[in-house]
Chains A and B, each alone.
Chain A
Amino acid sequence: MIENLVLSELEKRKAIEIDAAPDGIPLIYQDLNESIHEAIREGYDRIVLNNVCGQRFIAASLQGDLELIINGLPGNDLGIFMDGPKIIVNGNCEDHAGNTMNDGAIMVDGDGGDVIGLSARGGKIYVKADVGYRVGIHIKEYENKYPVLIFGGIARDFLGEYMAGGLIIALGLKFLPDGSIIENEQSICGGELGTGIHRGKIILRTEEDLEPKLGVGAKLFEIAPNTRKEIEPFLREFCEIFNIPYEMIGKKPFKVIKPISKRPFGGNYCGQIV
């Protein structure tokens, strides 16, 4: 449970609890989202959803200073098009969390599914443990919009595919059921790492040789001191939220994956124009 995160703000907020499975039967997602909208209209800004069971599109397009606490398993497209609210998930989440998110935060105290944060344009997605395939596909940045995706565990293939900005960090830790934290022995990422990346950075905390895993257009670098400094506040925040000792982070080096070009496939389609 990541309740301590919000203790300071807790008193200020007007809270309501919604049961997403009254009488043991899960609501359909339209009804659940309607009851969230109703609570917002009534002026509640801290909404606790209990017994969530795979309902999709939770917090779709919500705006403003809201806080959703989800106890259970939110379904696909959690926080899709969201602009501002903070979502705390006590448990795992399914695929496509943070789809095209504009601003706000999603904190998942468990595993994430595939395609987390696809096309995110801003905000933060923090997942405590592992994530699946195609995570951070085509996330992008613009002026002060800067999406940050951090995972405590490992990711699979196609991490940061067609990435157009922002920051992805994977830490390669393993969280045992008894609460202890150890280094994950599995490879920190799958193949095709950063295929088609043309802006932004993927930062992986690992000693393994990532060279054979790089996708088209991605290049491996050692971390520069100013980059390390840049990511420090995000890492500290992540460790604080999920109770990870910060000293643990420093035990392995970081590696950076950056684009070789701003237009890796430019020549494929309109080479003569460029």
Chain B
Amino acid sequence: MYWKNYTILPEQFRNERVFDGCGISGYINIDGKRDYGTKVIDMLCILHDRENGLGAGFAGYGIYPDYKDYYALHFLFDNDPSKEKVLKHLEETGYIIQSEAIPTKTPSNVDHPPITWRVFYEPKEAKSISTDDQIVNLVMQVNERFDGAFIMSSGKNMGVFKGNGWSHEIANYYKIADYKAYMWLAHSRFPTNTPGWWGGAHPFNLLGTSVVHNGEITSYGTNMRYLESFGYKCTLFTDTEVIAYLFDLLVRKHKMPIPIASLALAPPLFDEIYRMEKKHQIALKNIRATYRSAMLNGPFSVVVGYNDTIPTMIGLSDRKKLRPLVAAISEDENTIYLSSEEASFKRLMIDDISSYKFREIWHPKSGTAIIARLGDGLLRNGLEKPFEKLKLSVIGA
């Protein structure tokens, strides 16, 4: 994982191509019990055949309980001047509560690690714009205009740790095993269409929304133009970033319920819609028409973490199920797991020390969201019909 700087692809990896897919894993503890990162590392590292050492990352929710009211900004800097420049900008625009290095364990073969930094931050009150939107603008500004600086994550009481390397290397580098979280997302990367670099590793984050993704978003261009009309800037050269921004737009700004937002992102085919009852037809056609440019095309399976008010984990795959997604629930029904492969769950089962048990392991339906929320448990298991369990009143039905 030797890098001269952290924004370009090194020569030695350029000709390396092994055909496989990314690995994604994640889980949420419904009662809010915080686990060390060791479990999610086990779940992810067993999927080593799905990665090629060009990126891995972790997102932990609930890792900063002492600073839970402040935005936790995770930075990567190439050098000290760029760090000073960004910190000065932060001081001008808001209040820095705490500013410190993210502890890392640099392997012996790396002599030039990036500067990993975290800032607990509160923007100055402004009348015309909410603090959330101020943070969104800050992230867009830093990632676009500040050379040698990159914001990995910007949510409250959560953090993203990512970089270019094998999943076990990144886990060791950031000492993931030392953090305690009630929701973990993890990703190991096999880049296919875009180069592997530190900023391009998953999870992608904006405020409380983090996304890990396996697949390709072929509608990237359409989605990007749509998002740009709302002021988002896609600067990371990777398709997954649009999913994070779309979730932020649909759920946080447009206040759509998550099951409906997932229908906008992965709507049923029209011939399927025509076989539904009238009320659902009208609703789905309207969703498809209104959010036509937000629809995600191409193969994907994603796990999304979201913590605007109540932390929620969402799993979603494309309508044609071109990428795998498996779900499981623990014996005590307190933990809901998602992963690319069932092997993640099997790995926990053969663990001698803790020997986790599962009540059920199942394959969710394509284009159907699995939603698990802190305190409420499994809200949707991914096997329902589009509007099942939802209250829906449609004008004109």
Residues of A within 8 A of B (CB): 21, 24, 26, 28-29, 51, 53-54, 56, 72-73, 75-76, 92, 94-95, 111, 113-114, 130, 132-134, 156-158, 186, 191, 212
Contact = CB atoms under 8 A, between A and B. Distances in A.
Contacts of A157: 320-321, 366
A164 B302 CA distance: 33
B341 A133 contact: no
Contacts of B351: 24
What's the dominant secondary structure at chain B's contact region?
A: loop
A245 B343 CA distance: 32
B347 A92 contact: no
B324 A53 contact: no
Contacts of A54: 46-47, 341-344, 346-347
Contacts of B346: 53-54, 72-73
Interface in B267-293: 269, 272, 275
B39 to A, nearest CB: 14
Interface in B43-79: 46-49
Contacts, number: 67
A94 B343 contact: yes
Given A24-B351, A191-B269, 20 more contacts: A26-B46, A51-B350, A53-B347, A54-B47, A54-B343, A73-B346, A76-B49, A92-B361, A94-B342, A113-B363, A114-B321, A114-B324, A114-B363, A130-B363, A132-B363, A133-B320, A133-B321, A156-B321, A156-B363, A156-B366
Contact of B324 (A26, A92, A95, A191): A95
Interface string B346-368: 11001110000000010101100
Contacts of B344: 54
A257 to B, nearest CB: 18
Contacts of B342: 54, 73, 92, 94, 113
Contact of A26 (B350, B352, B363, B383): B350
Given A54-B342, A92-B342, A28 B48 contact: yes
B341 A75 contact: yes
Nearest to A110: B361
Nearest to A191: B272
Interface in B285-332: 320-321, 324
25 contacts: A26-B350, A53-B343, A53-B346, A53-B347, A54-B47, A54-B341, A54-B342, A54-B344, A73-B346, A75-B341, A92-B361, A111-B361, A111-B363, A113-B324, A113-B363, A114-B324, A114-B363, A132-B321, A132-B363, A156-B321, A157-B320, A157-B366, A158-B320, A191-B272, A212-B275
Q: Which 7 A-B pairs have the closest CB atoms?
A: A54-B343, A133-B321, A73-B346, A53-B346, A24-B352, A132-B363, A51-B350
A186 B362 CA distance: 14
A54 B346 CA distance: 8
A28 B49 CA distance: 9
A47 to B, nearest CB: 19
A113 B363 CA distance: 8
Contacts of A72: 346, 350
Nearest to B345: A73
A53 B343 CA distance: 6
A75 B49 contact: yes
Nearest to B47: A54
A54 B275 CA distance: 39
Contacts of B361: 92, 111
A113 to B, nearest CB: 7
A31 B351 CA distance: 20
Contacts of B320: 133, 157-158
Nearest to B317: A133
A53 B366 contact: no
A157 B49 CA distance: 27
A92 to B, nearest CB: 6
A21 B350 contact: yes
Nearest to B365: A156
Nearest to B353: A24
A101 B45 CA distance: 29
Nearest to A75: B343
